[in-house]
């Protein structure tokens, strides 16, 4: 029985002149069996651009906010480890 679902979907085309733009999104769902509801996270992944002449291009969407959140969490963990290490060293010197 699956608990984690990951789906990638392409939206309907939007036209800018003759150029077709299609959004691509990713949905991550966490559903625990036996519990109602769950957690759903939707995020943009890319935009597919189809000009009237030429090949289709996929332009990735960079999620800067998520990268900054991961950076803050990582710095918090490193700071916590340094604080714990300093506390243990200070405790040894006192004894």
Residues 8-65 pLDDT 10s: 999 999 999 999 999 999 999 999 888 888 899 898 999 999 999 989 999 999 988 8
In this structure, the answer to whether residues 57 and 18 fall within a common structural domain is yes
* Cα–Cα distance, 10 to 47 (Å, whole number): 9
pTM above 0.85, yes or no: no
Whether pLDDT at 94 is above 90: no
Give the DSSP letter of residue 73.
H
In this structure, the answer to whether residues 43 and 4 fall within a common structural domain is yes
In this structure, the answer to whether residues 12 and 26 fall within a common structural domain is yes
Give the distance from CA 39 to its chain's centroid: 14
Give the DSSP letter of residue 17.
T
> Containing domain of residue 44, as a range?
1-61
Spatial CA neighbour of 24 closest among 40, 43, 52, 4:
43
């Amino acid at each position: 029985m699956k608990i984690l679902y990951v789906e990638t979907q392409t939206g309907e085309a939007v036209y800018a002149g003759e150029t077709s733009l299609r959004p691509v999104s990713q949905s991550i769902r966490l559903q625990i069996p036996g519990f109602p509801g769950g957690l759903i996270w939707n995020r943009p992944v890319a935009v597919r651009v189809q000009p009237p002449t030429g090949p289709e291009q996929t332009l990735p969407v960079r999620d800067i906010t998520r990268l900054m959140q991961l950076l803050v969490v990582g710095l918090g963990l490193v700071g916590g480890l340094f604080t714990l290490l300093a506390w243990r060293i200070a405790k040894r010197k006192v004894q």
